[in-house]
Structures are given as structure tokens and as C-alpha cells.
Amino acid sequence: MSEKDIVLGVVGSPNPDGRTNRLVKAALEGAAMAGAATELIQMSEHVVEGCKDCLPWVCAENQKCTYEDEAFELLSTKVLNCGALILGTPVYWWDTSAMVKYFILKMFRVFARSAPLQGLPAFGISIAGGTGNGLVSGLRPVYHFFQVMQMRALEPLPATRFNFGGAEKRAKELGGRIAAMRHERHPFTGLEERLLWYDQLPYLGLSRAEERRLLAALTGLALPEDRSGKVTSGLARADLLTAAGDRTGSMIEITRSYEAGKKAFEG
């Protein structure tokens, strides 16, 4: 089995036993069930140092960070050589974790120009395990990484504690799908095709209001039908208010629905 065939899962959480780990593991299980060899890496064991943005910009020429950074060397080598990539991040303050961001920024500095990851199949997972806020905005830096590095990304998986069971199932399915793509990279024909590809992926283009509506809807989906009524009716009212142009009124209804769903979920 060549390294090129491996489906690589990277856990971008400082907590190796947390929800990010569970979701990335579920994705790798799906990949393994589809016949792929898999490897899981905990970023917490390989924390990349911040890019020093040094000049002259030789790292882009020789594709190696000028400073000794064993963690970056290891992670970047694994990513460059895998057949498919799954990157999971916990959501911190509606964003990715710092360790994911440090890795991404150094990857840009060293590899964005030479673009050695063109066409690599990839997908990202975010887990907003607290309020659920940032389930989409936490994914955007990960998809920005995929896009700039010209990878061929599948749809993202935004997870919260409210839809966690469903997210684990979905992670498995996506893992199976990406496993089938691991033998071949399909680079884009140009920048235009690449940008349009990323534009058509779900979730990433949601407005803040739409993201909040999605979160409220997820709290309702987690509940049995007899307890989700307040969420469903609240969201229906919110949609009517949006249609009538009352966007603030709609957001207030969405927040009420979210609070009702969260209360029922926790009760």
C-alpha cells in the first residue's frame, strides 16, 4: 500500500479524546469500511510554530520552512503524500483552533505558490460543541485552505452537540465517499472552475442570519417530534418575517427558537 493511497485524518483539537477526534475517527471508519488504509494524526502532538513571514521568501522556492519546525515538517509531509485529507477543527470563538490556523498559514507560505496539492480530495469538519455558534464560520478557514491550495474539496460537515449523532453518521458516509477518490487527484482546469466549485459547496455561503437559522433548526432536529414544535413554529414565523422584510424581527424569532430547542435538548 503506497502512502499516496492513505486517507489521512487530522484532529485539530488540543483535546485528543474530544468530539473533534470522534468525528474524524468516524470519517476514517467510513473510509476503512470502503477499503482504504487510514491514518489519524493528533495536531496536539505536532503543534506548528507561527510563520515568521521571513524574507527573502526562500521557503516558497525550496518548499521547506527556513526555521526548524519538526511539527510542520511532519504534518506537511503527511498531507503532501496522502491520497485524501480529512481535517477536523473544534470551533473556538466562531473560528478554527489556533493550531489549525498556524498550520494553514505556514502551508500557504511554503506551498501556495508551487501548489503541490492540486486536486487532492479533502473535506473539513467543524464541531461547535458549546453554544453551537460558529458551526459554519469555523469551517471557512479550513475551506479557504483547501481552495487556496487547489484541493478538490467535498461538502463540509458542520457539527454541534445538538446534531452530534447525525454528524457522526454523516462523517462516516463522507469518509466512504472520499475513500473512493483517494487514488487519483483531479486538478481544476483554472482559477475560474476552482472558485465556482467552492461557491457551489453547501453551508459556506450562508449569511450570519442563515447560519443562526441553521443552528436553531439543528436544535429542533435533535428532539423527538412531540418536543420540537416550538422550534418548528418559531422558524416558520421567522421565515414569514424575513419574507416581509423584517430581518431584525426574524432574527429575534430565530433566537427564541434556538433557546427553546436548547432548553428542550438539555431538559
Ligand X SMILES: Cc1cc2nc3c(=O)[nH]c(=O)nc-3n(C[C@H](O)[C@H](O)[C@H](O)COP(=O)(O)O)c2cc1C
With binding defined as CB under 6 A, does residue 91 bind ligand X? yes
Q: Exactly one of 82, 99, 117, 127 binds ligand X (CB under 6 A); which one?
A: 127
Q: For ligand X, give the closer residue by CB, 22 or 194.
A: 22
Q: Among the candidate windows 67-75, 90-98, 146-154, 224-232, which touches ligand X by CB under 6 A?
A: 90-98
- Pattern 11-30, ligand X, x by CB under 6 A: --x-x--xxxx---------
Non-local (6+) Cβ contacts of 267 within 8 A are none
CB 141 within 8 Å of CB 95: yes
d(CA 92, CA 174): 24
Q: Among the candidate windows 32-40, 47-55, 92-100, 151-159, which touches ligand X by CB under 6 A?
A: 92-100
Nearest distance, CB of residue 128 and ligand X, angstroms: 3
What's the burial of 69, exposed, middle or buried (CB within 10 Å: 0-12/13-18/19+)?
buried
Q: For ligand X, give the closer residue by CB, 103 or 188.
A: 103
Nearest distance, CB of residue 188 and ligand X, angstroms: 32
CB 132 within 8 Å of CB 86: no
Q: Among the candidate windows 10-18, 53-61, 79-87, 104-112, which touches ligand X by CB under 6 A?
A: 10-18
Q: Among the candidate windows 44-52, 68-76, 124-132, 216-224, which touches ligand X by CB under 6 A?
A: 124-132
Q: For ligand X, give the closer residue by CB, 20 or 228.
A: 20
With binding defined as CB under 6 A, does residue 94 bind ligand X? yes
With binding defined as CB under 6 A, does residue 96 bind ligand X? no
Q: Exactly one of 121, 124, 132, 175 binds ligand X (CB under 6 A); which one?
A: 132
Q: For ligand X, give the closer residue by CB, 85 or 128.
A: 128
> DSSP string spanning 7-35?
EEEEE-SS-TTSHHHHHHHHHHHHHHHTT
What's the burial of 95, exposed, middle or buried (CB within 10 Å: 0-12/13-18/19+)?
middle
Non-local (6+) Cβ contacts of 200 within 8 A are none
With binding defined as CB under 6 A, does residue 197 bind ligand X? no
Can you read off the three cell numbers belonging to residue 265?
435538548
Beta strands in the chain (DSSP E): 7-11, 38-42, 84-90, 121-128, 152-153, 157-160
Q: Exactly one of 134, 141, 176, 220 binds ligand X (CB under 6 A); which one?
A: 134
With binding defined as CB under 6 A, does residue 234 bind ligand X? no
How far the first Cα of the chain sits from its last, in Å, is 49
Question: Which residues form the interface with ligand X (CB under 6 A)?
Answer: 13, 15, 18-21, 90-94, 127-134
